[in-house]
Amino acid sequence: MSGEITFTIDGVQVSGQAGQTILQAAALANIYIPHLCAKRGLSPWGSCRVCTVLVNGRPQAACIQPIADGILVENDTENLRAMRRELVEMLFVEGNHFCPFCEKSGNCELQAMGYRLGMLAPQYPYFFPVRDVDASHPDLFLDRNRCILCARCVRASQELDGKHAYGFVGRGAHKHVAANSTSGLGGTDAAVSDMASEICPVGSLMKKRVGYAVPIGQRMYDSKPIGSDIEKGAQPAQAGGAR
Ligand code: FES
């Protein structure tokens, strides 16, 4: 087929189309490459680095690296698992993530990734940053304590909703998601029906008045690990979609 590209992931031959990323081609071949900021339907972003693989021996972010004929991709190795685990640990200590008290628990991709990668207590000191919660919107709230700066809400608002309700301000440790209004999220045109309102991987952008509608123990990752939908060849549900 014209444009078909063949390469290997952990020794398994995979085919894809020109223009696909390694992450997309892998998912179509039912190979799970852990990822957090990537999401099906959104433009590649490349910020979390959890999807790092080795391409011909060099580290590359699978969500932004295009496939090429004959490349040798290493994905599921002990070294890469350890590196991803450290990245996820850093995300945990950099924010304020208290899973037992978070409504997203069981549906949270960060928490699920920690479990999948075998994370125990983080080896790094907690930052305990002081961050604002924006509860000014009638139907949504933005809790920056749990934000991992994946930009899914920013991208979804622009690319899927045709709005610009969210953006980033600040630099380095002070970088955070901001609402596009001086009066906070409530002053924007963000709506609970927006795709951006559905797409947060953690408990940062959440809907009001639906907390705990699904009991703990019956949530997405309570019974199956993140990525198992891709490995089983099912259409990805809310999370982990990279196809
Ligand atoms: Fe690739 Fe985040 S950098 S999923």
List pLDDT tens digits, range 83-99.
999 999 999 999 999 99
List pLDDT tens digits, range 150-184.
999 999 999 999 999 999 999 998 999 999 999 99
| Cβ burial 200-231 (10 Å sphere, 16+ → b, else e) | bbbbbbbbeeeeeeeeeeeebbeeeebbebbe
**pTM of the entire predicted model:** 0.93
Q: Domains in the chain, start-ordered, CATH in brackets?
A: 4-76 (3.10.20.740), 83-207 (3.30.70.20)
Distance 80 CA to ligand 1 centre (A): 14
Q: Is 36 in the pocket of ligand 1 (CB under 6 A)?
A: yes
Distance 63 CA to ligand 1 centre (A): 5
**Residue 233 binned pLDDT confidence (cut-offs 50, 70, 90):** confident
List pLDDT tens digits, range 192-222.
999 999 999 999 999 999 998 999 999 999 9
Residue 3, token pair as written in the block: 């444009």
Q: Is the four-CA dihedral 80, 10, 41, 211 of positive or negative sign?
A: negative
Q: Is 84 in the pocket of ligand 1 (CB under 6 A)?
A: no
